[in-house]
Amino acid sequence: MSISETKKSDASNRTRKARSRRRWVIAVLGVCLIAVGIYVFLNKEKSRAAKQAQKPVVPAVPVVAAEAKRANFNVYLTGLGSVTPVNTVTVRTRVDGQLMEVLFREGQIVGSNELMARIDPRPFEVQLTQAEGQMARDVAQLKNAQLDLERYRMLWEQDSVSKQVLDTQEALVRQLEGALKTDQGQIDSAKLQLVYCRILSPISGRVGLRLVDPGNIVHVTDTSGLVVITQLQPITVIFPLSEDYLPQVLGGLKTGRPMPVEAYDRAMKQKLATGSLLTVDNQIDPTTGTVRLRAIFSNEKNELFPNQFVNARLLVDVVRGVTVIPSPAVQRGAQGTFVYVVKADRTATVRPIDVGEVQGGETSVKIGLSPGELVVVDGADRLREGTRVELRGQSPSTGERAY
């Protein structure tokens, strides 16, 4: 082998060795890079796990829930009305005279035809005596005239008197008979005045404040009267409703069944009495678009007082077998009405619903909820979809209603 060939062979060997060293260095660098990457990745995972371990657990939100029930839902119409007595009478005198005695107490309950006051009867007793005396005189004159008439008739038959004399005597008898009727009228009038001296209660009811004291002279023309009596049992309530509800009300009256009416105080917190619808007014008020209704109450315990303002609730319909929930459970948002339903895993979920009637703190649900599901009544303002909840209490369930 020549020298030149030997040099070429040595150069080729050195080139191969250099390439081999570069490959080895690259391989070592690749392994190092992979090891560094794995180390960094593992450190990041450990850091993430540590952060997650340090992150506090969100506590469950305490709420109060109620169970949706299937019930019969009463539909009421409510109007603010006033208590109106069936009868209110101002007791007045029917004769002029001195008020001698008052026999009632203010605020007393009196019965019909009960004696309430007396007026001095002596002037009318004198009138009665005069009328009876006048009648006794006219009776005597009539008897004498009738005897004379019989004599004149006998004489006329004997042709001893003229027909004119007989006719005159007959006229005198008829005149005296008319005078007797007048006298009887005077006697009856005097007796009636004596009856009016005893003032009786025209109705049963509660006596108001006395307007005239004993000893005063009272007159028929007095406008104030002696006292006002108001009938309390039964008593009525007049209240307005919108003309839009008139077909429902009239339809209920046509059935002939009593339509219950409940009277509540002005705050709608306390029920005062229960009665029934009596009648509907015969026209609509064009200025307000309402029609007046009258309900009657027995008022046996005097729960209602004249001119008292009350809220009257008229039962117009009963929706049977509807899902009912407490009204505070119903939420409203941009998407409409919804409720928070508590699922079995104690998380809250948003449930859109279609509500129906709302009465007395309860709401009927047409679509979106089934009986037996738990809905959040209190604490819904802190809930979101999927929030864990803790039931701190359960609202009383809506019971089955029957009418």
pLDDT digits (tens, 9 = 90+) for 270-313: 999 999 999 999 999 999 999 999 999 999 999 999 999 999 99
Q: Quick one: angle between helices 122-157 and 163-196, nearest 10?
A: 160
- The pLDDT value recorded for residue 50 is 56
pLDDT, tens digit only, all 403 positions of the chain: 555 555 556 656 666 666 667 777 677 666 677 766 676 666 666 666 655 555 455 678 888 888 889 888 888 899 999 999 999 999 999 999 999 999 999 999 999 999 999 999 999 999 999 999 999 999 999 999 999 889 888 888 888 888 898 899 899 999 999 999 999 999 999 999 999 999 999 999 999 999 999 999 999 999 899 999 999 999 999 999 999 999 989 988 888 889 999 999 988 889 999 999 999 999 999 999 999 999 999 999 999 999 999 999 999 888 888 889 998 989 988 878 999 999 888 888 899 998 888 877 888 898 888 898 899 998 888 888 888 888 886 655 544 332 2
Reported as type and span, the H/E element at residue 213 is: none
Tell me the pLDDT tens digit for each residue of 212-255: 999 999 999 998 999 999 999 999 999 999 999 999 899 888 88
Q: Half-sphere exposure of 241 toward its Cβ, with a 13 Å CA cutoff? A: 25
- The pLDDT value recorded for residue 216 is 95
CB 124 within 8 A of CB 232: no
- The pLDDT value recorded for residue 344 is 86
- The pLDDT value recorded for residue 402 is 29
Neighbours of 263 (CB within 10 A): 25
| Alpha helices, H only, 218-282 | 246-254
Contacting residues for 87 by C-beta, under 8 A, at least 6 apart: 203, 205, 230, 231
| Overall residue count recorded for the chain in this entry | 403
- The pLDDT value recorded for residue 176 is 93
Q: Half-sphere exposure of 114 toward its Cβ, with a 13 Å CA cutoff? A: 16
- The pLDDT value recorded for residue 56 is 57
| Cα–Cα dist 314/318, whole Å | 12
Reported as type and span, the H/E element at residue 139 is: helix 122-157
Q: Which two tokens stand for residue 72?
A: 């019969």
